[in-house]
Chain A
Amino acid sequence: MSFVKLTASTLAIAAVSATAAAARDQVQVAGSSTVLPYASIVAEAFGENFDFPTPVVESGGSSAGLKRFCEGVGENTIDIANASRAIKESEIKACAEAGVTDIIEVRIGYDGIVFASDINGNAFEFTPSDWFLALADQVVVDGALAANPNKTWDQVNANFPAQPIQAFIPGTKHGTREVFEEKVILVGCEETGALEAFKAANGGDEKAAEKSCLGLRTDGVSVDIDGDYTETLARIESNKDGIGVFGLAFFENNTDKLQVATMSGVIPSTESIATGEYPVSRPLFFYVKKAHIGVIPGLKEFAEFFVSDEVAGPDGPLAEYGLVSDPELAKTQEAVAAEATMGGNS
């Protein structure tokens, strides 16, 4: 039987090469889907300009990426985790338990989060309070906490049109969700006085009050999107009343379908985010496993290339794609060059 021979030889090749594969020669990156486009742009340019193979960039979300990052040290674990939020204490602990102790934190720049709706629909000028009143589970009605009665935007704010409230917000596995909660819902909670009310209701416990603020309504008005922004866009295309949460770069690639709402009177743009005028933005990071530097060829070069002026600077390809470049990029470059780990002991 000739296929028996074929099988035997294929298996033999596979077995031989499996042992040879012990030396991985390309950098492996995983994590935030927000950072993915930037990381892939850098990876592509890196592969073009250096004699190393193009790094592999997978997505999956910040938390998923950091979880894989913290699985341990070795060639079958990833070298870099992308994250659209800073690493958490609990994750650092989990990393340490698995032997990943020296982590280099690299901030690549800032990303704006925008609120956009169908291009032919109504224009909106939001404030955080509007979003809190629209989406919170409990709001202050006539001085007392009550279940959110608002059904249309004009009930939230008299200046808005009578359009049904329908929001598509990122699901909890996304880093974007945290920024949305922290910079919009929580701020709105405070502004509308609901935070005080929550505090009064549970005996002055600030943490519990903040948690109550973040309780979003579950009656279908606010929909969690666990997929990517393309899914949010598809939802808005099928439901013209919908308002979605997007990354600035995604919006800028789809200006023919979406119009953006202002937040506290500021139009989101790379400029207004860089100056800090536009309030809803967040830093983007990647985390490098120091133990892999020198083991995985090109890892340090990739990290340095990522934050170099020609890539991450204000005129670089990342800024062109929508990243707000970090004014303190020089500091980051120094830290990467010195392989400064978190906690400062390097």
Chain B
Amino acid sequence: MTDHNQTPAEGDAPKRKHGASLLQLTDRTKRRNAAETRFKAYGIAAIGVGLLMLVVLVTTIVGKGLGAFQQTFVTLEVALLEDKLDKNGNRDIEDIKKVTTFGYAPIIRAAMETKVETLGIESALKGKDMADILSKDAAATLREYVIANPDQIGQTVEFAFLAQSRVDGYLKGRVTRESIANDKNISAEQLDFVDQLIEAGTVKKTFNLAFILGADASDARPEAAGMGVSMLGSLFMMLVVLALALPIGVAASIYLEEFAPQNWLTDIIEVNISNLAAVPSIVFGILGLAVFINYMHLPTSAPLVGGLVLTLMTLPTIIISTRASLKAVPPSIRDAALGVGASKMQSVFHHVLPLAAPGILTGTIIGLAQALGETAPLLLIGMVGFIASNAPDSIASGLLSPNSAMPAQIYEWAKRADPAFYERAWGGIIILLIFLVTMNTLAVILRRRFERRW
């Protein structure tokens, strides 16, 4: 703009040092322009590398994890024999419960043999080896059904049982005849048998809702493991974090920003809040173990404790972002409120806080997303292991009975011996990422819609 009055007419170049002109390219200008072009190229290259990483990451995760959302099922018609399941024949639930899952194995084997006969499949396999292509979860599924529907005893009911993880891997291309040469869990003959069943339409790969909603399973049946219960664990932890970190964080920031006198004490507090934000999360885990579990005697592995620990971790993030958004509200708003006779508190709660709310919410959501993906502190308070197996039945038990969390569950699966768990770990990452992306998108949308600039 200031150049305006000296915009050169033809041949009327302003006098500059070295006789240079903006329009005449000297060596120096060329070098500066070249430097700028180079810098742009570096920038584009940096973004390119970043994007490439993202693409590699996403393709790897999706490529390795998508398989977990599909599972192989074997359809069988099971005759629920009365003499095996209810010897007294009086349908007393206590009697039926006495038959353990081990007692159901012969029934499933018989169903398998019948199926093979009706389909006319020729196989040299023995009944037990045939039934071994089923998951060990099959007996549990069956028993649960019988206990829930004792009136079905004596009938023949169709079930879709999970296939064992090797068979599932075979349908997904993870397991081949070469790779199982030394494997004692499955033989090439069993794979031939599976091929025959696929042809007959008995073995099918379908979408597996149980992976998203189910509970963790033991090492003997990776095919039955699901994320559902650990998702609830994460949910309850996030509720605790939200219920504690948001009010405490907002109250602390309002006080520090609007009411606190500026002196050395508040300076120290401010510096420490910033420092706390940089403390590694494992430190909060140790703190949680020492204070909440060993000193306060809260139950181990409980989402309540996990939530408390993550609250400590999230507080600085929330305080910092809240203070930033309070600062962004122009002083004229406060002055106007005070000018028309509002008290300090009225000016804050009626005017400043509502205007800062979008920023606070954004900060809170990002803080929650960070807490949702956190594993390290959970290791120390006992939320890793074979834990996410009981779905909570009430809010209290959701907070207090042992549970895992999504990232801890993924970590646990990645550790286990069976390669099928590895696939599920990647599948779990997909679910976790979907949550994180959703939360971050929500934060962006809130900011876009409600944020005001002055």
Contact = CB atoms under 8 A, between A and B. Distances in A.
Interface string A29-43: 010010011011101
Interface residues of A, number: 56
A76 B299 contact: yes
A22 to B, nearest CB: 9
A57 B412 CA distance: 12
Interface stretch (B71-79, B110-118, B340-348, B416-424): B416-424
B417 A253 contact: yes
Interface string A57-92: 111000000000000000110100000000000000
Contact of B185 (A36, A40, A253): A253
A256 B166 CA distance: 12
A36 B220 CA distance: 12
Interface string B182-217: 111100000000000000000000000000000001
Given A56-B385, A56-B386, A230-B417, A255 B218 contact: no
Given A4-B247, A26-B401, A17 B417 contact: no
B129 interface: no
B396 interface: yes
B220 A321 contact: yes
A76 B293 contact: yes
A314 interface: no
Given A48-B143, A253-B418, A21 B183 contact: no
Given A28-B402, A36-B385, A310-B102, A48 B136 contact: no
Contact of B396 (A13, A30, A256): A13
A250 B422 CA distance: 14
A57 B385 CA distance: 6
Judged by DSSP, the binding face of B is loop
Place the interface of chain B in its size category. Answer: 35 or more
B417 A254 contact: yes
Given A26-B401, A45-B101, A58-B382, A14 B304 contact: yes
Nearest to A20: B396
A225 to B, nearest CB: 12
A229 B244 contact: no
* Most A C-beta atoms less than 10 A away, residue of B143, B181, B384, B396: B396
B220 to A, nearest CB: 5
Contacts of A75: 299
B399 interface: yes
B184 A252 contact: yes
B82 interface: no
Contacts of A249: 417
A37 B182 CA distance: 21
A254 B419 contact: yes
B146 interface: no
B247 A44 contact: no
Given A56-B402, A58-B301, A321-B220, A30 B385 contact: yes
Contacts of B390: 26, 47, 53-54
B239 interface: yes
Interface string B411-443: 000111111000000000000000000000000
A76 B297 CA distance: 6
Given A7-B244, A58-B301, A230-B416, A43 B218 contact: yes
A40 B179 CA distance: 27
Contacts of B385: 30, 36, 40, 56-59
B384 A37 contact: no
B247 A7 contact: yes
Nearest to B384: A58
Nearest to B349: A1
B389 interface: yes
Contacts of B396: 13, 16-17, 20-21
Contacts of B184: 252, 255
Contacts of A25: 401
Nearest to A259: B182
A3 B304 CA distance: 19
B446 interface: no
Given A44-B217, A320-B220, 5 more contacts: A17-B396, A20-B396, A21-B302, A228-B415, A249-B417
13 contacts: A13-B396, A18-B298, A21-B302, A26-B390, A40-B386, A48-B144, A54-B390, A56-B386, A58-B384, A58-B386, A252-B184, A255-B183, A310-B102
Interface of B: 97, 100-102, 136, 140, 143-144, 175, 178-185, 217-221, 239-240, 243-244, 246-247, 293, 297-302, 304, 382, 384-387, 389-390, 395-397, 399-402, 414-419
